[in-house]
Chain A
Amino acid sequence: MDKVKRHSSVIWLGGVALLVLLAYVSAMLTADAKPVVLWTDALVYLLLLAITGFVLYARGREHYRDPWRQVLRSRLGMASLVILLAYVLVGLLDSVHFRLPAQAQEQSQEQHYSADVLSVLDLVLGPMREQEEKTYSAPFATHLYAKETVEGEDGQKMRVYPRLQFGGAHLQNPDEDWAEDIGSLGMQGALWGIGCWLLLVSLVVVRLSQLWQKSFSAALKDVVFGKSDVAWHVIFLTMGILFVLIAMIAVYAPKYHVLGTDKVGQDVLYQAIKSIRTGLVIGTLTTLIMLPFAVMLGIMAGYFKGWVDDVIQYLYTTLNSIPGVLLIAAAVLMMQVYMSNHPELFETETHRADLRLFFLCVILGITSWTGLARLLRGEALKLREMEFVQAAEAFGVSKFKIIQRHIQPNVMHLVLIAVVLDFSGLVLAEAVLSYVGVGVDPSMHSWGNLINGARLEMAREPIVWWSLLAAFIFMFVLVLAANLFSDAVRDAFDPRIRKQ
């Protein structure tokens, strides 16, 4: 059974990769577009490779597989994992960028490309991106938020709420048909979602019944009552909710603005979805950047002791004693000035915003590696006195080999726990930093920028609440899922908790 399972995980990974690749290639071919690899894109791909490598490495080792099995059994852990994967999928789709050809000028031979860098996600969200209104409109609204002076048929000027260009434009008589239309579209979406979900569930259960060598109904029974090694019932339940929500949005999106529009008439839901990538990039790339330093320096300090320890301790005490926000603010400010002095370095606006995001990750990484390094130092101090390390030293194994073979594998669970725990904090930090004005580029979609823009609108009457709501929901769901998942991972990997 294990062997089959092992193959199936590879097939899953391969399937997802193939899907993304296919979408990308087809987009390139149909639109004759020019692929663009941004800095953070490249790092996201690298991160994917690293995670795949880690999965392959951990798969054959029992001391990793056992805790992961516990994670797979945990109900909250699996529910949050499904949600996290949904976010990751959106983030990945948004990490494949290209530029469409510009409207061709006949004279020039050279192919020109539009300055807009798009991603596969933009194509998927097509109508949401393109259907821009004039200004604010409430969720599911058919009319603008503010009154405008319109010239009537008889030439008289009136103050009315004008109809939206796209939201509810298909309705002849919005006052009467609106509720009915919303209801029927919602039903339609829900049915689609449930249909797709049932199809997927039955396919997976068929596969499971083969694996478990049971009849379909017996396998279904096990799944429903949670009597399997993996908490399938929770996985399916979460997926069901996600499917229905996504299908409903997909049905509504071409006809309404599900979460309203902002000041310049852009769809708020589109902005919130685009922000997912920013949040994920900050949460993961920061860790990816700081991890090698934290692990290397932490272990070195603990293992070598003496002056190496002194130097490394000095380094992180110094960095730590600068108030974090101030260091980040100072670094971002300096980078901003540097970038505005060197505009020639950046091909498009997006490249500049992306580089700023990358630097923000680096800076956050510099300020956040100290905690992990200190933890690893303590652990390495303990490990170097253990018998197996002493024995290896007595046999004359080189110091490098000892670190690589004996110390590092014994601290990896700490690293894993730290990585997962840090993620949610970083996502939350992005919002705060953007508020202070030292976060991501103002032109980039991020929850922090969304909140920042919406905050000033709180004073309006009637209140413009939908941007805040959108940022709140998307952030809250991601951070909550990450917190719950990290709890499950910590419970499974921390030996102190496992014993109890």
Chain B
Amino acid sequence: MLAYITRRILYAIPILLGVNLITFVLFFVVNSPDDMARMHLGEKRVTPEAVQQWKVEHGYDKPLLFNDDEVGLGVVTETIFYQNSEKLFTFEFGLSDAGRDIAQDIGERMWPSLAIALPTFIIGLLVNITFALLVAFFRGSYLDVSAVVLCVVLMSISGLFYIIGGQWLVGKMLHLVPISGYETGSDAFKFIILPVIIGVIGGIGSGTRWYRTIFLEEINRDYVRTARSKGLGENVVLFKHVLKNAMIPILTGAVVVLPLLFMGSLIVESFFGIPGLGSYTIDAINSQDFAIVRSMVFLGSVLYIIGLTLTDISYTLVDPRIRLG
């Protein structure tokens, strides 16, 4: 097991390097540091000296990929690419282009994101599995058919409409909770509840349909037929045998997204004005803050790779037939 995890970590390094290279090409080759400096300084104050000073302040004054003035290793290390990547790999995110400490910002903004994403995820999972079990119980009947059609209908509505509709209905019509905003501590609850409910409802369509397919696949297995032929009731078969076995694909599917919950949701957070990582990213995109976007891309990739590794490990935990070699 330990050897496996070590290998996965080693395997992650070239992938993160690739990610880093892609973002670097996107941000530095398409737009030169001079362009960025001009944009951040504004139209009026652009002088060659000011541009140069901005570049020095932000560490963008070196050549992009290769430094011809240096000798030996310096050809590679004395460049923007190397200097920036080296810091990212040690999780030193440094200062944003606007001068704030990125690591501290991420640490602060992570919690509101989690406060929304985690309940949405857990409640959504429970609700979807319950509905899917119900539908699978009545499979083949009109209830099943109409439930599937309803799922497709729910899936066909854009997530934006769930948010807009929910905000309008609960916030403006019923005046139950504030439409947007956030506070820390116990007051956070009234700001969290609406995004969570909307997130859960928005996911019901695709979630229920997906879990229903998983259950139906399990129901056609041999062991279910055996259980039935032993004379077990449909309830016992469904809840004891099928549910337990179906938990394998469900759990492993859930594990892969677990780390990414830290990143928050771009859309939900910006609609509800929640100061999480999602809205942080959107703000950075809009203000073209390269340092933040690059840190977030890196963080997201790391979390994704952690998720993949956790998935593989969780397979062995819930399904003893699988061994990691």
* Given A326-B297, A424-B156, A321 contacting B281 (CB threshold 8 A): no
Annotate A311-335 by CB proximity to B: 1 below 8 A, 0 otherwise.
Answer: 0001001111111011101110111
- CB neighbours (8 Å) of B301 from chain A are 321-323
Partner of B164, one of A335, A436, A468, A475: A468
Cα distance, A318 to B266, chains bound together (Å): 22
Cα distance, A337 to B34, chains bound together (Å): 13
- Whether A484 is near chain B, meaning CB under 8 Å from some CB there, is yes
Partner of B304, one of A320, A424, A451, A483: A320
Pairwise interchain contact A334-B31, C-beta atoms closer than 8 A: yes
Within 8 A of A (CB), among B128-160: 152-153, 155-160
Pairwise interchain contact A487-B267, C-beta atoms closer than 8 A: no
- Whether B286 is near chain A, meaning CB under 8 Å from some CB there, is yes
Partner-binding segment picked from B12-20, B54-62, B71-79, B90-98 = B12-20
Partner of A476, one of B23, B157, B159, B167: B157
Pairwise interchain contact B160-A431, C-beta atoms closer than 8 A: yes
Pairwise interchain contact A323-B220, C-beta atoms closer than 8 A: no
Annotate A93-126 by CB proximity to B: 1 below 8 A, 0 otherwise.
Answer: 0000000000000000000000000000000000
Residue of B nearest to A336 (CB): B288
Report which residue of A329, A438, A463, A480 has the largest number of chain B beta carbons within 10 angstroms of its beta carbon. Answer: A329
Residue of B nearest to A329 (CB): B285
Residue of B nearest to A429 (CB): B158
Partner of A325, one of B26, B158, B266: B266
Within 8 A of B (CB), among A437-489: 437-438, 447, 451, 455, 458, 463, 468, 472, 475-476, 479-480, 483-484, 487
Partner of A330, one of B27, B270, B305: B27
Pairwise interchain contact B263-A487, C-beta atoms closer than 8 A: no
- Whether B119 is near chain A, meaning CB under 8 Å from some CB there, is no
Pairwise interchain contact A480-B31, C-beta atoms closer than 8 A: no
- Whether B282 is near chain A, meaning CB under 8 Å from some CB there, is yes
The number of chain A residues with a CB under 8 A from chain B is 43
Residue of B nearest to A451 (CB): B160
* Given A334-B27, A458-B164, A436 contacting B285 (CB threshold 8 A): yes
* Given A318-B18, A435-B160, A323 contacting B263 (CB threshold 8 A): yes
Cα distance, A463 to B27, chains bound together (Å): 41
Partner of B26, one of A330, A458, A475: A330
Report which residue of B22, B156, B300 has the largest number of chain A beta carbons within 10 angstroms of its beta carbon. Answer: B156
Residue of B nearest to A326 (CB): B297
Cα distance, A277 to B267, chains bound together (Å): 25
Q: How far is the CB of B140 from chain A (nearest CB, A)?
A: 11
Within 8 A of A (CB), among B301-323: 301, 304-305
Q: How far is the CB of B184 from chain A (nearest CB, A)?
A: 26
- Whether B168 is near chain A, meaning CB under 8 Å from some CB there, is yes
Q: How far is the CB of A286 from chain B (nearest CB, A)?
A: 17
Annotate B160-172 by CB proximity to A: 1 below 8 A, 0 otherwise.
Answer: 1100100110001
Report which residue of B167, B267, B300 has the largest number of chain A beta carbons within 10 angstroms of its beta carbon. Answer: B300
Pairwise interchain contact A436-B266, C-beta atoms closer than 8 A: yes
Pairwise interchain contact A436-B159, C-beta atoms closer than 8 A: no
- Whether B274 is near chain A, meaning CB under 8 Å from some CB there, is no
Q: How far is the CB of B271 from chain A (nearest CB, A)?
A: 9
* Given A334-B31, A432-B267, A476 contacting B26 (CB threshold 8 A): no
Residue of A nearest to B151 (CB): A483
Cα distance, A451 to B286, chains bound together (Å): 19
Annotate B267-301 by CB proximity to A: 1 below 8 A, 0 otherwise.
Answer: 10010000000000110011010000100110011
Partner of A480, one of B156, B260, B304: B156
- Whether A172 is near chain B, meaning CB under 8 Å from some CB there, is no
Q: How far is the CB of B181 from chain A (nearest CB, A)?
A: 15
Pairwise interchain contact B160-A321, C-beta atoms closer than 8 A: no
Pairwise interchain contact A483-B168, C-beta atoms closer than 8 A: no
Partner of A323, one of B18, B159, B270, B300: B300
* Given A321-B19, A428-B159, A436-B267, A480 contacting B285 (CB threshold 8 A): no
Within 8 A of B (CB), among A415-434: 424, 428, 431-432
Cα distance, A320 to B15, chains bound together (Å): 10
- CB neighbours (8 Å) of A435 from chain B are 160, 267
Partner of A483, one of B23, B156, B288: B156
- Whether B30 is near chain A, meaning CB under 8 Å from some CB there, is yes
* Given A458-B168, A487-B152, A337 contacting B30 (CB threshold 8 A): yes
- CB neighbours (8 Å) of B172 from chain A are 458
* Given A329-B285, A479-B156, A484-B152, A322 contacting B19 (CB threshold 8 A): yes
- CB neighbours (8 Å) of B26 from chain A are 330-331, 334
- CB neighbours (8 Å) of A323 from chain B are 260, 263, 296-297, 300-301, 304
Residue of A nearest to B304 (CB): A321
| 13 A-B contacts (beta carbon < 8 Å) | A318-B19, A323-B300, A323-B301, A326-B296, A329-B293, A330-B26, A337-B35, A341-B35, A424-B156, A432-B267, A463-B168, A468-B164, A476-B158
